Chains A and B, each alone.
Chain A
Amino acid sequence: MTSAVGSTPSGAPTRAGGEDRQAPVRPHRKRWGRTAGWLGWLWVLPALIMYGFFVLRPLVTTVQYSLYRWNGIGQAEWVGLHNYLTVVTDSDLLKIISNAFILIIFFSFVPVCLGLLVASLVRRLSAGPFGTVVRTVLFLPQVIPLVAAGIAWTWLLSTDGLVNQILRAVGLGGITRAWLGEFDTALPSVGVIGTWVMLGLCTILLVTGMSKIDPALYEAARIDGAGPVREFFAVTLPSLRQEIGVCLTVTIIAALASFDIVYISTSGGPGIQTTVPGLEIYRLAFSQRQVGLASALAVVLMVLVLACVLPIQRLTREDKA
């Protein structure tokens, strides 16, 4: 029964043939089609109002602010695209943006690669108690506030923390340091926190995806003489396109829009070594009172997120039914 025809008001006129076949119920469905069609908006409206008022409106306002010099209190001064010019020429702001891209390596690239490695080794997470415990534990970083992850890792990476303790225990006492406090190691250390948060989610998503692959594909590959490596590239990787796309999307957004972890673990320091756009927007808008510049940076951040995420979506989802 092609029920969609009659109940889709906009589709009904063009598909008269479908309606003829269903003549007996037509009066009812026609009436519903006309009245409930527009009345149906009553169902959608509350969500749209909240979305419009608390997301779309501020979004437009951000773009508007970005064209002004404004300290948040006094008179705003129209400066056109000047704030954007500052964002793309100021060396500090460029470094801050590049920091976010370096974090992508840790938030996104490493978890996805490690996740793929682990997932291909595990293939099917055993359904027994071992599997349940593993799943539960690996999801813990997703469940706790990122702030708590930041605090835990600040302690772990501190001078007296576990990381240095382990290094000393294995005879690498020479390289111990305050990992989050030194110029060379601060950003990678923040990145490691992100890896810890994202790794479990990526692993489980990839394992889930892998469990849906037809085992016959693997058997065929093995019979053809493929080793684990060839098997991975010939069977596993192509079958996981969608899951990899999801992992990349989620983690890249988390890296570019990171705030909580950085705010807690380093506040952007030392210098601006670990400052990320999210933190800089917060600082510019609420401590430096440069609302216009903060907004321009916000718009740039949004564009960067879209520029990274949309191609991934397109590449990994095109064959989705």
Chain B
Amino acid sequence: MNLTSRGERLTGRIFLIALVVVTLLPFLSMLSAALQPRGTVPTGLAWPSDPQWGNFGAAFTAANMGVLLQSSLLIVVGVVPIGVVIATMAGFGLGHLRVPGGPIAFGLLLLGLTLPLEAVVTPLYYQMRDLGLLNTRWAIILPLIGLYMPFSVFWMRAHFTTVPKELSEAARVDGSNTWQLFWRIHVPLARPAIASLTILLFLWTWNQFLLAIVLVDDATKRTMAGALGAFQGQWGTDLVLLCAGSLLILTPTLIVFLIFQRQFIKALIQGSLKG
């Protein structure tokens, strides 16, 4: 028995479509500006009579996009695997081994869940300076791993608390030590949780802006988002090129998002529900 009237459903659809249109308009407007001839002043949303697809090539060269991509990838490769591995280990320790005093360690980590990045960015600058790491990618990589720990451990611990103890007991009886237990039995079982965490950490690292502009001056050693900030400073007046460049810079996340769409949305929903 469905008592929802057709009228209501129609209104729902109309609202949704309106929402979709509003979400897409900024992208379309950027695209229409990016296709105007360079040097002209584009207006809002107008499909150019002669779309200048070459602008994307120009922006790619002007922004040194190849180097930026490589830099972002290096940072992601530095942050995500280490972050995921140590968070998985900690989640295992706290959620499954239930180490003595674990709740205290966990409480300490929970402190960081709502921490605004601005609260630690100034000391991080001086800390990185003293370590001689300013203006290197390590200055972004190392703090990010630490900053992601509260959420990541929370996430992995939530998974490990649901794994039945009997599994470990059986493996123990078969003579495996904790290390083998972890790698052979628990990590394979945790694959979905690990995959979601990987996706989220990739996204947050790629889009990290504040740390990138504070700790690294050289735009070619920043994350994509940080580089985009510099790009705006440099090309802010050339709207056509700026829009083309912005679209290029957000394309990689978009592609990754569209490929892993299902996992992304699931991770984001679960991520916010848990976090």
Expressed in whole angstroms, the minimum distance between the Cβ of A100 and any Cβ of chain B is: 10
Asked, given contacts A3-B165, A122-B16, A147-B229, whether A48 binds B105 with beta carbons under 8 Å apart, the answer is: yes
Q: Residue A222 contacts which of B3, B90, B265 (CB distance < 8 angstroms)? A: B3
Main SS at interface, chain A: helix
Asked, given contacts A58-B120, A118-B16, A146-B209, whether A53 binds B146 with beta carbons under 8 Å apart, the answer is: yes
Contacts of B77 on A, CB cut-off 8 Å? none
Expressed in whole angstroms, the minimum distance between the Cβ of B173 and any Cβ of chain A is: 6
> Quick check: B45 and A162 within 8 Å, CB to CB?
yes
Contacts of B173 on A, CB cut-off 8 Å? 25, 28
In the complex, what distance in Å separates the CA atom of A135 from the CA atom of B45?
Answer: 25
**Which residues of chain B (241-270) have a CB below 8 Å from chain A?**
242-243, 246, 249-250, 253-254, 257-258, 261, 264-265, 268-269
A218 at the interface (CB under 8 A from B): yes
Proximity bits, B146-165, A CB within 8 Å = 1, else 0: 11011011000000000011
Expressed in whole angstroms, the minimum distance between the Cβ of B146 and any Cβ of chain A is: 3
Residue of A145, A259, A299 with most chain B CB atoms under a 10 A cut-off: A145
Asked, given contacts A47-B86, A146-B225, A165-B45, whether A61 binds B150 with beta carbons under 8 Å apart, the answer is: no
Contacts of B178 on A, CB cut-off 8 Å? 36, 39-40
A233 at the interface (CB under 8 A from B): no
- How many residues of B are counted as interface, with CB atoms below 8 angstroms from the partner's CB atoms? 103
> Quick check: A142 and B268 within 8 Å, CB to CB?
yes
Contacts of B145 on A, CB cut-off 8 Å? 50, 54
Asked, given contacts A48-B90, A50-B86, A149-B26, whether A218 binds B3 with beta carbons under 8 Å apart, the answer is: yes
In the complex, what distance in Å separates the CA atom of A298 from the CA atom of B122?
Answer: 9
Contacts of A39 on B, CB cut-off 8 Å? 178
In the complex, what distance in Å separates the CA atom of A123 from the CA atom of B15?
Answer: 12
Expressed in whole angstroms, the minimum distance between the Cβ of B269 and any Cβ of chain A is: 6
- By beta carbon, the residue of chain B nearest A263 is B229
Contacts of B44 on A, CB cut-off 8 Å? 156, 160-166
Contacts of B169 on A, CB cut-off 8 Å? 3, 7, 25, 28-29
Main SS at interface, chain B: helix
In the complex, what distance in Å separates the CA atom of A166 from the CA atom of B213?
Answer: 35
In the complex, what distance in Å separates the CA atom of A166 from the CA atom of B29?
Answer: 12
> Quick check: B42 and A145 within 8 Å, CB to CB?
no
Expressed in whole angstroms, the minimum distance between the Cβ of B84 and any Cβ of chain A is: 11
Expressed in whole angstroms, the minimum distance between the Cβ of A30 and any Cβ of chain B is: 12
- By beta carbon, the residue of chain B nearest A117 is B15
Q: Residue A278 contacts which of B93, B101, B118, B272 (CB distance < 8 angstroms)? A: B118
B23 at the interface (CB under 8 A from A): yes
> Quick check: B23 and A228 within 8 Å, CB to CB?
no
In the complex, what distance in Å separates the CA atom of A228 from the CA atom of B9?
Answer: 12
A9 at the interface (CB under 8 A from B): yes
Proximity bits, B1-34, A CB within 8 Å = 1, else 0: 1011000100111011001101111110110010
Asked, given contacts A25-B169, A54-B124, A144-B207, whether A152 binds B118 with beta carbons under 8 Å apart, the answer is: no
Expressed in whole angstroms, the minimum distance between the Cβ of B245 and any Cβ of chain A is: 9
- By beta carbon, the residue of chain B nearest A193 is B26
Contacts of B195 on A, CB cut-off 8 Å? none
> Quick check: A145 and B225 within 8 Å, CB to CB?
yes
A240 at the interface (CB under 8 A from B): no
Proximity bits, A173-193, B CB within 8 Å = 1, else 0: 000000000000000000000
Contact sample, A vs B, 18 pairs, CB 8 Å cutoff = A3-B165, A44-B89, A48-B109, A51-B150, A54-B145, A58-B122, A61-B127, A121-B15, A121-B16, A122-B12, A122-B13, A137-B24, A143-B253, A143-B254, A151-B228, A151-B243, A295-B123, A298-B120
* B interface list, Cβ under 8 A from A: 1, 3-4, 8, 11-13, 15-16, 19-20, 22-27, 29-30, 33, 41-45, 86-87, 89-90, 92-94, 97-102, 105, 108-109, 112, 114-127, 142-143, 145-147, 149-150, 152-153, 164-166, 168-169, 172-173, 178, 182, 203, 206-207, 209-210, 214, 224-225, 228-229, 232, 239, 242-243, 246, 249-250, 253-254, 257-258, 261, 264-265, 268-269, 272-273, 275
Instruction: Name the 7 nearest CB pairs between A and B, nearest first.
Output: A54-B146, A43-B93, A165-B44, A257-B116, A121-B12, A47-B90, A145-B225
